[in-house]
Amino acid sequence: MSEDQLSRRELLKRAGAGAAAVGAAGAAAPFSFAGPMKFKNRQLKGDLSIIQWVHFVPAYDDWLDKTWIPQWSAANDVQVKIEHINNTLLDTRAAAEVAAQSGHDLFMNLHPMASYEDQVINHAPIIKEIEGKVGKYGALAKASTYNPKTKKYFAVSDNYVPDPVVWRHDLWNGVGEAPYTWDHVRKAAPKLKAVGHPIGIGQSQELDSNMALLAFMMCFGAFVQNDTNRPVLNTKKTIQAVNFMVDIYKNGEDSAIFGWNPASNNNYLYSGTASMILNAISATRTPEAQNLPFTNDLWIWPIPSGPGGRHGLEHVMGCYNIWKFAANKENASQFLVDLCVNYKQATIASQLYNFPSFPGAFPFKQIRKAAAADTHKPKGKYTILTTIAEKYTHNIGYPGTMNAAMDEVFSKFLVPQMFAQVSQGKLSAADSVRSTASQVNEIYAKWKERGKI
């Protein structure tokens, strides 16, 4: 592909011909993970340790560990050790590393760790350097990793993942509907359930449910906080949103949605049961890889619109931070800069799962071209991703910014709880919203006391 050749040329220019030869050789080397590189009896000068998640699209980790890191390592004379752990365990490791005051130089998490602001360096210089090369930091990323109160960048986001709905075109066609708006979804839900293919929007204590329900609320004009980071949960619109979703559940979903983990809605889809889920495109890439029978009937659309508009969230956002106690801050910074500047390769390696947080690294027009070249049917289905990314993707905490209080609301799964209580008949919508709002208010008050918002 011409894009690949271009990027290799860019790399050559930067690294010099000798390193390029090294890079080419390294790309072919058969190791299972990027461990210490002993290269031609030459000890590499510097060190760098990185920890991040096991990517939902295995091709990305393959690219990162076997292509990108060996090339970068040789070009910068740095020995890179990278660890991958399950995304649910990242929070634990972060706490342990901070408690121990020792750990990896670069720590990556799937959500910006706002509460760790005091433990990390100010990443402003890194961001400025990247901006100098590829253009401005995306608004979405900035709202997620910048604290306007303390004026500190507490993380660098290298990527975000747009969150579409993935729906079974054949099934929806069968009942004569399509998910343009949430009203359409509500109308179609009972019909789909009747033919044994309910909708699958989780209301569990896990990441996907959190994202889906927060985005759903936004489509009804209901938000956890406003643009000045003050909690505004208890409104009529929130109650309306809750009632609407409960209606969808009662008529069009089954109780499986209450006991999910982040993989469950995907599996619900892969087993052929679900007619629609809210998930990133790992939900289509895996069926493609496994040749599931309905792969070509999986369509990707933006989130349905509601009375409050069409608002979505990023599914996950990759955020790297550098601890204050990191041993190799310079190497870490350099790695981040190089990765973000060359993010085009990463996006392609991830099969368009990762979108660059610095849009200049891979402009939407070019992403659309790459998506259009994707041969999976229906042809061009991934081009909608750029539209979603451009227009319908907000940060957690929209219309405000991501902060420690929002982080805590998110980590305690208060929003899924708010919905699930009503769906299961434990509380009325008004009561559930009120009690959740009071918990939210307490959390915000606490962090305000600490001067973080």
Partner 1 sequence: MGAVAAAGGSRKRLRYVAERRGFLATLLISPAVVLIAVLVGGPLILAGYLSFTDAQAGSLTGKWIGLANFRRVLHDPIFRGALWHTFLFTVLSQIVVIVCAGLIAHALVRGFRGRWLLRFFILLPWAAPIALTAIGFLWFYDPQASIFNWFLIKLHIVDPTSLPNWLGTPKAAMSSIITVQAWRTIPFAVVIFIAGISSIPQEVDDAAAIDAATGLKKFWYVSLPLQLPIAIVAVLFGIIFTATDMIVPFILTNGGPFNSTQVLTTYAFQTGINAGNIGEGAAIALFMLPVLAFVAIGMLVFARRAEVT
Partner 2 sequence: MTSAWRHRLFVYGITIPFAVVLAFPFFWMGVTSLKPEAQVYDPTKVWRFHATLANYGYLFHHTEYVRWLRNSCFVGLLVVLVTLAVALPAGYALARLSGRVGRTLGVAIFLTYLVPPTLLFLPLSRVIAQYFHLSDRLWALVLVYPSFTIPFAIWLLMGFFKTIPQELEDAALVDGCSRLGALVRIVFPISIPGILTVVIFSFSLVLNEFVYAITFISSSANRTLTVGVPTDLIRGDLFNWPGIMAAILIPSIPLALVYNAFLNRFIAGFTGGAFR
* Contact footprint for partner 2 (CB under 8 A): 33, 51, 53-56, 58, 81, 83-87, 89, 92-93, 95-97, 99-104, 262-263, 266-267, 270-271, 282-283, 286, 290
State which residue, 233 or 367, has the beta carbon closest to partner 1.
233
> Does residue 407 bind partner 1 (CB under 8 A)?
yes
Binding mask 138-177 for partner 1 (x = CB under 8 A): ----------------------------------------
Smallest distance, partner 2 to C-beta of residue 265, A: 8
Smallest distance, partner 1 to C-beta of residue 113, A: 7
Smallest distance, partner 2 to C-beta of residue 100, A: 4
State which residue, 249 or 358, has the beta carbon closest to partner 1.
249
Q: 186 contacts which partner out of partner 2, partner 1, none, CB within 5 to 8 A by kind?
A: none
- Sign of the Cα torsion 102, 104, 106, 112 reads negative
Smallest distance, partner 1 to C-beta of residue 359, A: 30
Instruction: Quickly count: other Cβ atoms within 10 Å of residue 408's Cβ.
Output: 18
State which residue, 6 or 95, has the beta carbon closest to partner 2.
95
My answer on whether omega of the bond before 162 falls inside 30° of 0, hence cis, is: no
Question: Which of these segments, 224-232, 333-341, 349-357, 409-417, binds partner 1 (CB under 8 A)?
Answer: 409-417
Smallest distance, partner 1 to C-beta of residue 256, A: 4
State which residue, 88 or 173, has the beta carbon closest to partner 1.
88
Q: Indicate the length of the chain as a whole number.
A: 453
Smallest distance, partner 1 to C-beta of residue 237, A: 21
- Binding to partner 1 (CB under 8 A) within 64-93 occurs at 91-92
- Binding to partner 1 (CB under 8 A) within 112-131 occurs at 113, 115-119
Q: Which residue has the tokens 């982080």?
A: 407
> Does residue 293 bind partner 1 (CB under 8 A)?
no
- Sign of the Cα torsion 292, 63, 374, 371 reads positive
How many angstroms separate the Cα of 191 from the Cα of each of 178, 196, 267? 12, 9, 22
> Does residue 99 bind partner 1 (CB under 8 A)?
yes
Tell me which of 43, 102, 228, 424 binds partner 1, using CB under 8 A: 424
Contacts of 440 (CB under 8 A, 6+ apart): 224, 231, 233, 409, 414
Smallest distance, partner 1 to C-beta of residue 67, A: 32
> Does residue 204 bind partner 1 (CB under 8 A)?
yes
State which residue, 246 or 339, has the beta carbon closest to partner 1.
246
Tell me which of 235, 411, 428, 441 binds partner 1, using CB under 8 A: 411
Question: Which of these segments, 23-31, 198-206, 288-296, 332-340, binds partner 1 (CB under 8 A)?
Answer: 198-206
Which bin fits 137, alpha (ψ -120 to 50), beta or left (φ > 0)? beta
User: What's phi and psi for 64, nearest 5 deg?
Assistant: -65, -50
Smallest distance, partner 2 to C-beta of residue 9, A: 33
Contacts of 337 (CB under 8 A, 6+ apart): 126, 129, 130, 133
> Does residue 382 bind partner 1 (CB under 8 A)?
no
Smallest distance, partner 2 to C-beta of residue 268, A: 10
Contacts of 132 (CB under 8 A, 6+ apart): none
State which residue, 207 or 341, has the beta carbon closest to partner 2.
207
Q: 28 contacts which partner out of partner 2, partner 1, none, CB within 5 to 8 A by kind?
A: none
Cβ pair 296, 376 in contact under 8 A: yes
**How many residues lie near partner 1 (CB under 8 A)?**
48
> Does residue 98 bind partner 1 (CB under 8 A)?
yes
d(CA 268, CA 254): 11
> Does residue 234 bind partner 1 (CB under 8 A)?
no
Tell me which of 61, 65, 97, 338 binds partner 1, using CB under 8 A: 97
d(CA 337, CA 173): 46
Q: Which residues bind partner 1 (CB under 8 A)?
A: 91-92, 94-99, 113, 115-119, 203-206, 254-261, 264, 267-268, 271, 273, 404, 407-408, 411-413, 416-417, 420-421, 424, 426, 435, 439, 442, 446, 450
